[in-house]
């Protein structure tokens, strides 16, 4: 029996992308290893990212109940209209209520190439991560002696294509939910790096370069039409959503497969929020927080800025007067001196308290300044930040 389809949640004001990472290798079958929906409001400069776990148990049209990561291949081999992308689009619309306008699928080599073409990326690794990694990407992965335990972070970490792929895919010592968090970190960084470089003037050339690497129904004309809107987007306007517990629960199918069963009401509530323009962004996008590192730990200011971006605040970085602050400080430059807004910033940074200094200055470039002390702990979960 077919479950009831979720009513459409997106309207014509959005352009919706499905970003797919595949584990396709020569001579083997494959599944969609990574799936992230990007809901874009071009005129408003807002984006919602939704990470879909590959074990999500959904209804796939013409197939039945299955893991979401089987839909693409089922569409390819089953002759579905539109092939793999067509079936995956229809499955997402049916189960999540989100219309997908464009898909883009990249394999491992393509992902490495994209990152390396950008000259590498600087990823704010807020939580240290350790997992098994091939000593060299050319080594045989079937030989256990070719692996070592590798740790990144915390800190601002420069990643080439191979390291970024490992960071975004590894889950031997974590899980699919934590992997979704790391994938969104990498996606945000790739997007910002593209904005910082002369990418848009090179779109036609880049489109040709990657046409053999990225499988997409997004045409060059579509890209050029949307490119002018890209300058409106910053990390502070990108909201991150994750289909994690309690939105899903572990379940074993009658056939013995371990999957994730949606908790329908909780999942729908999140989807409604993700597909609606953020009221917080309207307020917070006008608030700039200057972030300074007053502690001895290097790159702490970049990690805190990333955290504030997740919460919807614009940030700028500057240098502290010294690096031996024991406790963090919040300087309030606003004429109104709103205690509630100060507390929201403190809470967003995960601080129990902060020394507050009131210095009203209507001409200040930033409304607030945070000087991070030794009490600041960078590790956080994005879903904890209401945006």
Tokens of 301: 């200011």
How far is residue 169's CA from residue 161's CA, in Å, rounded to a whole number?
12
For residues 284-308, average pLDDT: 93
Q: What are phi and psi of 60, to 5 degrees?
A: -105, 115
What residue spans in the chain does CATH classification 3.40.630.190 cover? 109-196
Rounded to 10°, the helix 108-117/203-210 angle is 150
CATH of domain 15-105+216-277: 3.30.420.590
Which tens digit of pLDDT belongs to each residue from 225-259?
Answer: 888 888 788 888 999 999 999 999 999 999 999 99
What band does 120 get if pLDDT is binned at 50, 70 and 90? very high
How far is residue 258's CA from residue 253's CA, in Å, rounded to a whole number?
7
Multiple choice CATH, 281-384, 3.40.50.2300, 1.10.3210.10, 3.40.228.10, 3.30.70.2390: 3.30.70.2390
Q: Which CATH architecture has domain 109-196?
A: 3-Layer(aba) Sandwich (3.40)
What residue spans in the chain does CATH classification 3.30.420.590 cover? 15-105+216-277
For residues 179-199, average pLDDT: 86
Judge whether 48 and 274 are in contact, CB under 8 Å: yes
- What pLDDT sits at residue 31? 66
Which tens digit of pLDDT belongs to each residue from 78-91?
Answer: 999 999 999 999 99
Give the number of C-alpha atoms closer than 13 A to the C-alpha of residue 200, restricted to the C-beta side.
14
- What pLDDT sits at residue 102? 96
Residue 258 per-residue DSSP state: E
How far is residue 62's CA from residue 362's CA, in Å, rounded to a whole number?
61
What residue spans in the chain does CATH classification 3.30.70.2390 cover? 281-384
Measured CA angle at 322 (ends 316, 325), to 5 deg: 90
Q: Return the minimum-mean-pLDDT range out of 212-221, 222-231, 353-362.
A: 222-231
Q: What is the SS3 assignment for 384? A: helix
């Amino acid at each position: 029996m077919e479950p009831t389809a979720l009513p459409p949640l997106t309207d014509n004001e959005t352009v919706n992308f499905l970003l797919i990472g595949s584990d396709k290798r020569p001579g083997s079958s494959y599944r969609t290893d990574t799936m992230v929906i990007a809901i874009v409001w071009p005129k408003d400069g807002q984006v919602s990212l939704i990470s879909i776990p590959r074990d999500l148990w959904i209804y796939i049209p013409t197939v039945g109940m299955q893991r979401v990561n089987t839909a693409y291949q089922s569409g390819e081999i089953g002759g579905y209209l539109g092939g793999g992308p067509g079936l995956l689009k229809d499955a997402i619309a049916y189960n999540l209520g989100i219309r997908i306008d464009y898909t883009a699928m990249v394999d491992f080599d393509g992902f490495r190439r994209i990152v390396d073409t950008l000259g590498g990326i600087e990823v704010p690794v807020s939580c240290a991560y350790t997992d098994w990694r091939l000593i060299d990407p050319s080594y045989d992965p079937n030989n256990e002696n070719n692996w070592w335990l590798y740790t990144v972070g915390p800190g601002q970490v420069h990643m080439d294509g191979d390291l970024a792929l490992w960071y975004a895919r590894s889950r031997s010592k974590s899980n699919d939910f934590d992997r979704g968090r790391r994938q969104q970190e990498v996606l945000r960084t790739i997007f910002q790096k593209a904005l910082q470089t002369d990418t848009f003037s090179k779109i036609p050339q880049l489109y040709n370069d990657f046409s053999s690497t990225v499988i997409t129904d997004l045409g060059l004309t579509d890209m050029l039409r949307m490119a002018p809107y890209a300058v409106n987007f910053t990390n502070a306007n990108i909201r991150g959503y994750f289909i994690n517990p309690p939105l899903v629960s572990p379940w074993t199918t009658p056939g013995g497969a371990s999957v994730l069963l949606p908790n329908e009401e909780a999942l729908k509530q999140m989807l409604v929020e993700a597909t609606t323009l953020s009221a917080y962004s309207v307020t917070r996008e006008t608030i700039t927080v200057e972030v300074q590192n007053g502690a001895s730990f290097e790159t702490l200011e970049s990690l805190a800025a990333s955290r504030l971006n997740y919460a919807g605040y614009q940030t700028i970085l500057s240098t502290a007067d010294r690096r031996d602050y024991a406790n963090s400080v919040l300087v309030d430059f606003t004429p109104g001196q709103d205690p509630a807004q100060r507390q929201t910033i403190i809470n967003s940074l995960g601080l129990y308290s902060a020394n507050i200094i009131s210095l009203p200055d209507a001409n200040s470039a930033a409304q607030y300044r945070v000087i991070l002390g030794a009490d600041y702990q960078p590790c956080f979960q994005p879903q904890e930040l209401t945006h």
